[in-house]
Amino acid sequence: MRRLGVFNFVTLNGFFQGAMGDISWHRHGAEENAYAVESLEGGGILLFGRVTYELMASYWPTPMAAQNDPIVAEGMNRAQKIVFSRTMKSVDWNNTRLIKDNMVEEIGRMKQHSGNDMVILGSGSIVTQCAQAGLIDEYQIMVDPVILGRGTTIFGGINHKVDLKLTATRVFKSGVALLSYQPMEK
């Protein structure tokens, strides 16, 4: 069976996006970049919502990404990707499939099959819906040492408690802390 993980970065006060979707506050230095490369080597399936997909697809397939960050760009472009959107008509980033309906049910079905694990990047709405449905096996949250006045919380809209246990920590020189959690057994 496949596992479903979440990878996201948040501010100290829990925002994964600042006002107007801003993520420029995230500190992504050499160590964080090496971690991204390491994570992409696993060959997992990347899951996005429309907004995150559009952000990623506007950068990673470009010559600028290949020049600025060739290893991560290659991994992002090579990775299998699924975007969930009811409004998009098509996707054009290579190795990307569009799923328009029944996201939670579809992810549940995909978890039942063998193959590469899946990870949700960004996409707060998808994270919230999958957390609600008990589908997430691991949460990897990079906490940036910054506080924003306004933004969007990663778990906005969740309506019940999800108990987690801390499974790993890693602190980067930038002050960013990576916290890994798994749902507690019921």
Q: What is the pLDDT of residues 82-99, one digit of tens each?
A: 999 999 999 999 999 999
How far, in Å, are 37, 59, 65, 186 from residue 62 at the CA level? Answer: 18, 6, 5, 45
Q: How sure is the predictor about 22, in pLDDT bands with cuts at 50, 70 and 90? A: confident
Across residues 152-161, what is the average pLDDT? 86
Mean of the pLDDT values across residues 2-8?
Answer: 94
Lowest-pLDDT choice from 12-21, 110-119, 160-169: 12-21
Tally the domains of the chain: 1
What domain range includes position 118?
4-183
Alpha helices, DSSP H, located in the chain? 30-40, 50-57, 63-68, 70-78, 103-111, 124-132
For position 186, what pLDDT does the model report? 54
Query: Per-residue pLDDT tens for 127-153?
Result: 999 999 999 999 999 999 999 999 888
Query: Confidence band (pLDDT; 50, 70, 90) for 175?
Result: very high
Q: Check which CATH number belongs to the domain holding 85 and give it.
A: 3.40.430.10
Flag whether pLDDT at 106 surpasses 90: yes
> Alpha-carbon torsion 90, 91, 97, 103, what sign?
negative
CA 120 vs. chain centroid, Å, equals 4
